[in-house]
Amino acid sequence: MSQLLEVNEATMRFGGLVALNAVSFSIGRGEVLAVIGPNGAGKSTLFNVVTGVYRPTSGHVRFDGIEITGHPSHQVVARGVGRTFQTSRLFSDLSVLDNVIIGMHTRTKTGVLGALFLPGASRREMAACVEKAELLLKASSGELFEQRHRPAGTLAQADRRRLEIARALASEPKLLLLDEPSVGMDEVETDALIADIRRLRTERPELSVILIEHDMRVVEAFPDHVMCVDYGSKIAEGDFATVKSDPRVQEAYLGKAAVHA
């Protein structure tokens, strides 16, 4: 299986702080990688390096065979990398539908001049975006579709997370990065999230997913490829059972004294 994303020796320094320390990994098409580790381990920094928010101090990122190290975020999205964030980045005052349509901006062709001089083409493109956005919302959640004209800020937490995923999918990604998708969810909502990701894998078998997650129930649901980072370094990689039993992982979460006790 060809590798869709390859990260080689990625290092990110902020002054004297080493947020990432020579982290290397890869993910193939259609695979799911779960990234775990304590708070402050460097997980979100890793996402920021992959998506062009940060240019790594050293190391390389290749996506779909092309070097994208340090490319600006909009170019990374256009190449096929979609992302959600740990904290909500929704446009709270805009409708659910409008938030999804905004996610299509890298795939639309009509700009300001087109809207002024080719209004018919602009209207047709917008109508197509509305239709596509409604289909994405229906596929995500019937309840979310029914709320498509509500301001996004009025949604329940679980529906906000679903909306963020739908907006990321609107960019037609080959790789979807999910940063703490279950944060703020109860057990029922987390089970629904797991079901959503499984359904997404069935409907889009070529889509690769990397998720940062603290809830081990979510990680265990996709056990084949797990990576643990701590203090900016990769300390373990393998299937869920192997990583969970690694003493370095247990020490990272529990502390050395607790593990040896």
73-112 pLDDT per residue, tens: 999 999 999 999 888 889 999 999 999 998 887 655 554 3
| pLDDT tops 90 at residue 115 | no
User: Phi-psi region for residue 33, left (φ > 0), alpha (ψ -120 to 50) or beta?
Assistant: beta
The model's pLDDT over 152-199, given as tens digits with 9 standing for 90+, comes to: 999 988 899 999 999 999 999 999 999 999 988 999 999 999 999 999
| pLDDT tops 60 at residue 118 | no
Mean pLDDT of 116-133: 71
At residue 55, the 3 state secondary structure works out as coil
The proportion of the chain whose per-residue pLDDT surpasses 70, expressed as a percent, equals 89
| pLDDT tops 80 at residue 254 | no
At residue 169, the 3 state secondary structure works out as helix
Q: Could you name the CATH architecture of 1-80+173-261?
A: 3-Layer(aba) Sandwich (3.40)
Tokens, residue 43: 């997980």
Q: From CA 112, how far away is CA 227, in angstroms rounded?
A: 44
Each domain of the chain, given as residue ranges in start order, spans 1-80+173-261, 90-171
The model's pLDDT over 207-216, given as tens digits with 9 standing for 90+, comes to: 999 999 999 9
Tell me the whole-structure pTM to 2 decimals: 0.88
